[in-house]
Structure 1
């Protein structure tokens, strides 16, 4: 593969990955405008964010089997068409309930790009190269929360919130054209894969039974829930408890994104010297130490603004290293049903992240400590799953080798 072709593939896969984060973050500055135009409250408008998350969770599991059964391009085309039409409907809607409903449909459509991008990384690149490619895609995912709200703020101020959804529809159209014209057919349709509920569930269960998948998918998802915890708690922590204004909070959010992006790019460099397994273990050990120090400081009321920023910066840097590697190793055993595996991995990450966010809404009130307790607990649990799971993987390899020797004998 030439460097130009490699760059082109990364660019298209990156644009597919960016569609979801932009759809979540770009309309946030328009909440009050939407509430005023649709004669409702900002709290009711925020339900459109919840409906989007529900749509993502449902859509991930829907597209996995479709991408394996019909190949990558057909489901991707249909999903992106659904996304474009739902985005246009959001732009011209006149009722809040319809808006919430169309946001759900928009999420289901965007999932086609999210799940297909992960599956196509596994199709297009060797298993060894996958974590490196995913690190580059992490750059897009990390940049999106920095760029989308800022761009959305300017668009909303000068052109109104409706224009945000017209821009999202245009982005969807661009991704549709780029994927159809610029990506090869990476996976032949497999008509042996059934779309009936029972075989689909059986297929997901068979994926879950693979030790390498459940070890790295759950390790990655539980560790990554620390990011969801931070995102959910950060407005309360910085603006309510540490009394920072909205503008400064925006800059803090950008700084944290730089930590996550920077470490995910450092991961690409470190992978030239170390294996993905070594990187995950080192990142989780570091994350555990940082979490414990963070917790001791929080319990003893030693956290001011700068100390909190510093500890969160270090914590998120560990995630930027572990996440691409756990994703790469989760998908490595699959060549036949990669779509289903990537969908299951995404749904797991989102589901566990949503639980962590819910924990924040219950416990984080007037102290930083509950947030740090959740972060520390999930980190230790992820490390525990990694250690136990690696033993299972070794046992599987040993048993496979023994079976092979018995057959040869």
Structure 2
């Protein structure tokens, strides 16, 4: 923690949470705004469904790759420079997407978007732990999740409206504007939270040693799996949204927002409750509650899809309840991950984000295309992904402080 934390940020916690949530929203905006335009982009560029899926996989792979370095760079050069550089590259990549004339160009610039969009998310976690003690950090992390939840809720609405009225290029011009606004806001308001005495050398050998210490730490890996893999039980539906919502649930592009509204509502409610519980109950107990909710709703989701014809009236609320359970436990698990490397929290955040992004990319590029055409297959896969996180937590729960 920064020894001068009280002087670095003098404003209210909610304002800092809103700033950091703005950084985290680049990821959801980069994905959710263009999903309603999937079919239109494919027709415009003469792309196959598999090629269109690669625009998502390229983004996620770029996201995962650079997440290994955002935190290490922030540990060496400070939090602000990395955030501002990431926003600048994101804005240029969005401009490239808007001007793309072929599917190859779009895949290239989507990968560049992914490589830059993660900077804000990774660094924001380190900023929170730089400035706050654990209980306060959990409250701020929960506030960030609540504010962050607004972006995925409104992104598909904006994307659907822009696609229908202005064409798919307008979606990426909108992202250019988002990047510019965030860059100006962060340059003016975001503090530098890393104390000069805590900066780490950006050299190959110390970096490799730091990464090796983390990947060889089974507690760190188990916590990263416990937080990141269950997310894919929900994210699988986001990745499959064009087929799941359009072909299975028969919703139109302008109706996709119901899925995102309910799911993000679940995330925001879970994050709010997580903040309320901070310091009131044991952390392990709170995590256990989140997993119980996810287990129960996942089993119910499988049963409903096996017995009934899929319908938005019950299919979408089940995913929202799953999201509630995930958001209830993930702020606590994330802080436990960061505290596994107190001298290099930026690097720990990077590696956690990288592991999660690799899982996201694998689900997007391999699993989602195999199961997206069947509601039952989606439900079973979601249950399996959540089960991996549950097993990881079951192993590690007695190895972390209550």
> TM-score, normalised to structure 2's length?
0.86
1:203 aligned residue: 210
Q: Quick one: distance in 2 between partners of 1:363 and 1:4?
A: 47
Q: Quick one: distance in 2 between partners of 1:231 and 1:188?
A: 38
Aligned: 1:348 with 2:358: no
Matches within 5 A, 1:236-247: 236-247=243-254
The structural deviation recorded for 1:337 is 0.9
2:369 aligned residue: 361
2:106 aligned residue: 99
1:285 aligned residue: 292
Matches within 5 A, 1:53-92: 53-92=60-99
Q: Quick one: distance in 2 between partners of 1:36 and 1:230?
A: 23
Counterpart selection for 2:54 from 41, 47, 60? 47
The structural deviation recorded for 1:74 is 2.0
Between structure 1 and structure 2, the one with the greater Rg is: 1
The structural deviation recorded for 1:126 is 1.6
Matches within 5 A, 1:1-400: 4-31=11-38, 34-35=41-42, 39-41=45-47, 43=49, 44-188=51-195, 192-196=200-204, 199-210=206-217, 212-271=219-278, 273-299=280-306, 301-302=307-308, 304-305=310-311, 306-357=313-364, 358-366=366-374, 368-393=375-400
Are residues 311 and 46 of structure 1, via their aligned partners in 2, closer, same or farther at CA, if it must alter by over 3 Å? closer
* Structure 1 segments unaligned to the other structure (5+ residues): 398-409
Contact 1:32 1:42 survives alignment (8 Å): no
Q: Quick one: distance in 1 between partners of 2:370 and 2:37?
A: 26
Q: Quick one: distance in 2 between partners of 1:115 and 1:85?
A: 20
Contact 1:65 1:193 survives alignment (8 Å): no
The structural deviation recorded for 1:147 is 0.8
Contact 2:14 2:143 survives alignment (8 Å): no
The structural deviation recorded for 1:287 is 1.9
Q: Quick one: distance in 1 between partners of 2:41 and 2:299?
A: 42
Are residues 139 and 175 of structure 1, via their aligned partners in 2, closer, same or farther at CA, if it must alter by over 3 Å? same
Are residues 29 and 131 of structure 1, via their aligned partners in 2, closer, same or farther at CA, if it must alter by over 3 Å? same
- For residues 284-303 of structure 1, give each alpha carbon's deviation from its aligned partner in whole angstroms, at most 9, with x where no partner exists: 1232233234334444x246
The structural deviation recorded for 1:318 is 0.8
Q: Quick one: distance in 1 between partners of 2:82 and 2:215?
A: 23
- For residues 335-391 of structure 1, give each alpha carbon's deviation from its aligned partner in whole angstroms, at most 9, with x where no partner exists: 32111111111111222233344323224544x332222222233332222122123
> TM-score, normalised to structure 1's length?
0.85
Q: Quick one: distance in 2 between partners of 1:134 and 1:89?
A: 33
Are residues 45 and 284 of structure 1, via their aligned partners in 2, closer, same or farther at CA, if it must alter by over 3 Å? closer
The structural deviation recorded for 1:226 is 0.9
Contact 2:284 2:397 survives alignment (8 Å): no
* Structure 2 segments unaligned to the other structure (5+ residues): 1-5
Q: Quick one: distance in 1 between partners of 2:395 and 2:30?
A: 37
Q: Quick one: distance in 1 between partners of 2:57 and 2:391?
A: 31
Deviates more, 1:151-160 or 1:212-221: 151-160
The structural deviation recorded for 1:281 is 0.9
Q: Quick one: distance in 1 between partners of 2:384 and 2:102?
A: 42
Q: Quick one: distance in 1 between partners of 2:363 and 2:43?
A: 32
Are residues 242 and 11 of structure 1, via their aligned partners in 2, closer, same or farther at CA, if it must alter by over 3 Å? closer
Q: Quick one: distance in 2 between partners of 1:99 and 1:391?
A: 46
Q: Quick one: distance in 1 between partners of 2:172 and 2:249?
A: 34
The structural deviation recorded for 1:42 is 5.9
The structural deviation recorded for 1:72 is 1.2
Contact 1:226 1:375 survives alignment (8 Å): yes
Q: How many residues align?
A: 391
Q: Quick one: distance in 2 between partners of 1:246 and 1:83?
A: 26
